[in-house]
Amino acid sequence: MSLPVLRAEEKNFTVVIDAGHGGKDSGAKGRTIYEKAINLSVAIKLGNLIAENQDRVKVIYTRKTDRFIGLDERANIANHNKADLFISIHANAIKNASHISGTETFTLGLANSKENQEVAKRENSAILLEDNYLQKYEGFDPNSTESYIIFEFMQNTHMEQSINLASRIQKAFKGTKRNDRGVKQAGLLVLRKTSMPSVLVELGFLTNSEEERFMKSADGQNKLAKAIYDAFVAYKHEYDKRQNVAATPARKVTSPPKDSPTKAPASTTASAAPKTTTTTQAKKNVLLYKIQILTSEKKLPANSKQFKGYKNVSFYEENGLYKYTYGESTDLTTIKATHKKIQKDFKGAFIIAFKDGKRVRQNSK
């Protein structure tokens, strides 16, 4: 019996799986195995799980063999393929602390602890093996703390989604009985130029003999790959829902009122700091759409370069992050048109909805 072929179900999502290091770059060294080998095995196991179970997802690897590849080149592969997600896979090491173990997942940001900074230094040192790394990375010295200042002023359009995936991965790792070291930020060069949500996973410590054994074993690698896969599926599910929000007309908006002037009076003065959404501008029970353009750990000044000259940028606070939005309308068609226009400046911007001044999530728990 043959099943009908559903040609219409084309791939709608591309994930790039990046096995860290390779070739002349071994990465961290365990007693019996190199980091590069573990990274590659887990990357391929993860890719196979996705390819076998997710019809609509295209999997691209930065490497499938033991070969050297630069950090920027990895990001370029993702960018050229217009990937929707970038997952870099690594294993950790720490000097003179063989008792330390556990998983951690990084998103791009400024390291807020010496420990995180050390991970960035170690992982970024891979560029020292690249030809012309001084020109390629504009004089970036992976071992100098001063070099990392560039990460403080980095635009972080995808921070929210990156952290979302990172949290899901850490949650899924708990099933592998690893110590949960949490979601962290650090100035990781491999994530710097990716123009999509991106994370770097540290599977465990090669300097801990028990973890080395686990990560070297097929069973351990299968469990780690499955955990990342489960997190990916949950993330993708949420992604699909969000796409549907933007693609289907808002049924909830019954007879939208005549558009009241959409600009908040307070935000028309360019010199004033962006204002939070006030409930007065949102009519009761009507969805007010906005476009989220970027997320920041710190409050940004109204004239911040990150706004790229856009005026009337607003923000709301959520989970300790400042989330900046542009435009607002109760009419989805209007906001979609604005969304289309600003995408050239804010790749990854997406439409969100507020009701009674509160953000509405389609997948509210």
How near is the Cβ of 27 to Zn ion at its closest, in Å?
A: 4
Stretch of 23-31, 56-64, 76-84, 292-300 lying at the interface with Zn ion (CB under 5 A) = 23-31
Decide: residue 88, CB within 10 A, 0-12 exposed, 13-18 middle, 19+ buried.
buried
Stretch of 13-21, 187-195, 227-235, 330-338 lying at the interface with Zn ion (CB under 5 A) = 13-21
Stretch of 49-57, 83-91, 203-211, 268-276 lying at the interface with Zn ion (CB under 5 A) = 83-91
Q: Taking CB under 5 A as the rule, which mask of x and - marks residues 121-140 in contact with Zn ion?
A: --x-----------------
Interface residues for Zn ion in 336-365 (CB under 5 A)? none
Q: Give alpha helix (H) positions in the chain.
A: 35-53, 71-80, 114-124, 133-136, 159-173, 189-192, 209-216, 218-247, 332-342
Name the residue whose CB lies closest to Zn ion: 90
Total residues contacting Zn ion by CB under 5 A comes to 4
Contact flag: residue 102 with Zn ion (CB under 5 A): no
How far does CA 38 lie from the centroid of its chain?
22
How far does CA 129 lie from the centroid of its chain?
26
Contact flag: residue 142 with Zn ion (CB under 5 A): no
How near is the Cβ of 363 to Zn ion at its closest, in Å?
A: 33
- Give rounded-to-5 percent helix, strand, coil for the chain: 40, 20, 40
Q: With respect to Zn ion, which residue has the nearer C-beta, 197 or 204?
A: 204
Nearest to 35 by CA among 45, 44, 25: 25
Q: With respect to Zn ion, which residue has the nearer C-beta, 205 or 346?
A: 205
User: Helix (H, G, I), strand (E, B), or coil: what is residue 173?
Assistant: helix
How near is the Cβ of 245 to Zn ion at its closest, in Å?
A: 36
DSSP 70-98: -HHHHHHHHHHTT-SEEEEEEEE--TT-T
Contact flag: residue 20 with Zn ion (CB under 5 A): yes
How near is the Cβ of 146 to Zn ion at its closest, in Å?
A: 23
How near is the Cβ of 20 to Zn ion at its closest, in Å?
A: 4
* Residue 305 burial (CB count, 10 A): 10
* Cα(181)–Cα(52) distance, integer angstroms: 30
Choose, by CB under 5 A, the member of 36, 45, 74, 90 that binds Zn ion: 90
Choose, by CB under 5 A, the member of 15, 25, 27, 236 that binds Zn ion: 27
* Cα(18)–Cα(30) distance, integer angstroms: 20
Contact residues toward Zn ion (CB under 5 A) are 20, 27, 90, 123
